[in-house]
């Protein structure tokens, strides 16, 4: 069974009420490939606005982060149940910018498990730094991150996970992994899933590429066997996001 193409838009700490509404209006009115699943992730404070504004049938809303704790005395955090309460059904976990701020592999895995247990689907991020790539440790780093995830999730949990491979050195830098570099890591991730989880999880899990994806490079990347879509940063704030969504046509 073919994996459904998936494009996520991570707005990061950008936007205003009006700009978020404008981006979503553009998506609602655009001719989006109906065979692509689209998920957009604005800042927490704009999530209710986004949920109310989205009318396109294949566009959903995600949080950029979530707590692994239930409701309670956790100042500044947002719980899984709170996201569900406002109509959000997705979250990103483990984005490199949060890992760089101190989130461990285990903490990312715990957040992912909490999200799934609470009814959210997850875009789980992994990737290596420039130093790790230059040292030839890319696959080693990604496999370590995967191993931490696999310690916390199992069985049908995997059906709720989309993996996003993001080479940290290519995020927001304008640099991009070559199609060959990206495909190589995506294939390694799928191989790890096959060896350490199951054939079905390896075959069914969608693996996205994230790292300065633009309208110019997305079509070549989309042609790669193990690239099932994109997690887009800055370009998701621009009209070209529609071209990236439609890049698999």
Among the listed residues 147, 186, 143, 149, the one whose alpha carbon sits nearest the alpha carbon of residue 164: 186
3-state secondary structure of 41: strand
Cα 144 to its chain centre, rounded Å, is 18
Residues labelled as active-site residues: 95, 166
> Residue 178 belongs to a domain with what CATH number?
3.20.20.70
Q: For residue 32, which of 10, 56, 67 has the smallest C-alpha distance?
A: 56
Residue in the block written with tokens 């959903």: 60
Query: pLDDT by residue (tens digit) across 54-108?
Result: 999 999 999 999 999 999 999 999 999 999 999 999 999 999 999 999 999 999 9
The token duo for 212 is 């300065």
Residue labelled with tokens 């696999």: 150
Alpha-carbon span 232 to 216, nearest angstrom? 13
| Cβ–Cβ < 8 Å for 32, 245 | yes
Distance CA 202, CA 222 (A): 18
Q: Work out how many domains the chain is built from and give that number.
A: 1
Q: What is the pLDDT of residues 30-49, one digit of tens each?
A: 999 999 999 999 999 999 99
Given this model, what pLDDT does residue 1 score? Answer: 57
Consecutive H or E run containing 187: helix 179-196
d(CA 99, CA 32): 32
190, 182, 192: which is closest to 147 by C-alpha?
192
Structure tokens at 103: 């989130």
- The predicted-structure confidence for 171-207, as pLDDT tens digits, reads as follows 777 777 889 999 999 999 999 999 999 999 999 999 9
Determine what percent of the chain falls in helix, strand and coil, rounding each to the nearest 5: 45, 15, 40
How far is it, in rounded angstroms, from Cα 34 to Cα 197? 31
pLDDT of 212 reads 84
The per-residue pLDDT for range 196-206, each reduced to its tens digit, is 999 999 999 99
Domain that holds residue 103: 5-245
Question: What's the pLDDT score for residue 176?
Answer: 72
Instruction: Read off the pTM.
Output: 0.96
Strands 161-165 and 59-63: unpaired
């Amino acid at each position: 069974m073919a994996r459904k193409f998936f494009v996520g838009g991570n707005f990061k700490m950008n936007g205003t009420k009006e700009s978020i509404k404008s981006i979503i209006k553009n998506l609602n009115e655009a001719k989006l490939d109906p065979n692509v699943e689209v998920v957009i992730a604005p800042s927490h404070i704009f999530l209710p606005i986004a949920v109310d504004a989205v009318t396109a049938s294949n566009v959903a809303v995600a949080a950029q982060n979530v707590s692994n704790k239930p409701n309670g005395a956790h100042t500044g955090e947002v719980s899984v149940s709170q996201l569900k309460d406002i109509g959000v059904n997705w979250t990103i976990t483990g984005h490199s910018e949060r890992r760089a701020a101190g989130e461990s592999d285990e903490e990312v895995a715990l957040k992912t498990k909490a999200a799934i247990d609470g009814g959210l689907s997850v875009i789980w991020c992994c990737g290596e730094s420039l130093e790790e790539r230059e040292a030839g440790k890319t696959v080693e780093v990604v496999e370590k991150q995967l191993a931490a995830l696999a310690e916390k999730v199992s069985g049908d949990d995997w059906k709720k996970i989309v993996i996003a491979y993001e080479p940290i050195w290519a995020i927001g830098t304008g640099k991009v992994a070559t199609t060959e570099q990206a495909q190589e890591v995506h294939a390694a991730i799928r191989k790890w899933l096959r060896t350490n989880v199951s054939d079905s999880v390896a075959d069914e899990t969608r693996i996205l590429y994230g790292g300065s994806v633009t309208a110019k490079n997305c079509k070549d990347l989309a042609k790669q066997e193990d690239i099932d879509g994109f997690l887009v940063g800055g370009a998701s704030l621009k009209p070209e996001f529609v071209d990236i969504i439609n890049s698999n046509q």
